[in-house]
Amino acid sequence: MISFILIVLASLFFTGIINRTKSITSGRKGPGIFQPMKDIVRLLKKGSVYSKTTSIIFQIAPSIYFASIIMAIMVIPLGEYKGIISFEGDFVFFAYILGVGKFFMIISALDTGSSFEGMGASREALFSMFAEPAFFILMGSFALLTGHTSFQEIFASMHFGPYISYILGVLATFVLAMITMIENSRIPIDDPKTHLELTMVHEVMILDNSGFDLGMILYATNLKFAMYGALIANLFMGSFPLYLTIPFFFGIQILFAIAVGLLESFTARFRMNHNAQYILALSSVSLLIFLGVLVILGQLN
C-alpha cells in the first residue's frame, strides 16, 4: 500500500517538474509545478461530449485505460515492502494489464471513424509492440539473475556487487526511461505539444475526448511517469528502513522528472520513419543486460 500512495503523490508534481525544467532551460518563468494538476481538475469537473458516430467503446475506453494503470501500480513494490498485489510472474501481469488499457484506447480511436485518429492508433500499436521485447528481456534477465519472478523479490534480491552489475543498473535505467518516453509519447518519439496531425501519435488519438474523460487520460500520463520512476527507484533502493526509503523514492522521482525535462529541452524529435529503428535498438541494450547477467552467473566460458 505504501508504494501505491507514494506513486500517487509523485504523480501530482511529476509533469509539473518536467514543464518547469523546460521553462527554465528556455529562459522563461513558466507555470507552477502544480499547474498540470489544476488543469486536470478543471477537466474532471466538466462533462464529456460524445459524437453520434461513436459507440459504447469510445465512452468506456478512458475508464478502462485509467483502471489498467491503477492495477499496474498495485503490483509495484517499494524496496522490501510488497505492492498491494504480489505473486510469482507479476511483471508479466504488469505488462499485459497495461496492454489491455492501451488496446481499448486504440480501438476507441478507431471507433471515431477519423482517419487521423486511426493513423495515430496504428503508430501507437506499432511502437508498443517494438518496446515490449525490451521490457521482457530486461525483466527476464533480472529474474535469471535473482532466481525470482515477482517484482518485489527481484528488486529485494538484487545486489550491485561486481563492477559489471553497476553497468547493468545504468543500462536498465536507460531502458526503463526510454520505455517511459515511448509509453507516454514524449520526445524523442513524439511531441505532446505538436498540432500537426501527420506527426502526432498519442495526442491525435484523443482529439475527440473531452471533459472528464480527457482529464482521466491526462492524469493517467502523470501516473505512468511516476510508475516507471518507481521501477527505476526500486533498481537501487535495496532494503533501506522506511524513513530512508521514502526520501530516496521522491529524490529519484524528482531527478527522473528533471532528466525528462532536460531531454525534451535539448533533444530534437526523431523523424517518424526513424522511431521504429530507435525503439528496436532498446531490445539490443536489453540483450547486453542479458549477456551481463550470464557473465555474472558464470554461464559464459
| CA–CA gap between residue 155 and residue 297 (Å, rounded) | 17
Where do the DSSP E strands lie in the chain? none
Of 226, 275, 293, nearest to 78 by C-alpha is 226
* 8-state DSSP, 201: S
Residue 206 one-letter amino acid: I
| CA–CA gap between residue 256 and residue 225 (Å, rounded) | 9
pLDDT of the residue at 162? 67
CB count within 10 Å of CB 95 equals 14
Range of the domain at 72: 2-297
pTM of the model: 0.92
pLDDT of the residue at 285? 93
pLDDT tens figures, 84-95? 999 999 999 999
- Region class of 129: left (phi > 0), else alpha (psi between -120 and 50), else beta: alpha
The number of folded domains in the chain is 1
- Which residues have CB under 8 Å from 298's CB, separation 6+? none
pLDDT of the residue at 76? 95
Of 260, 220, 259, 255, nearest to 236 by C-alpha is 255
- Which residues have CB under 8 Å from 119's CB, separation 6+? 197, 198, 204
**Three cell numbers at 191?**
511531441
Of 290, 272, 249, nearest to 8 by C-alpha is 249
In degrees and rounded to multiples of 5, residue 78 shows phi and psi of -135, 90
Pick out the chain residues at pLDDT < 50.
none
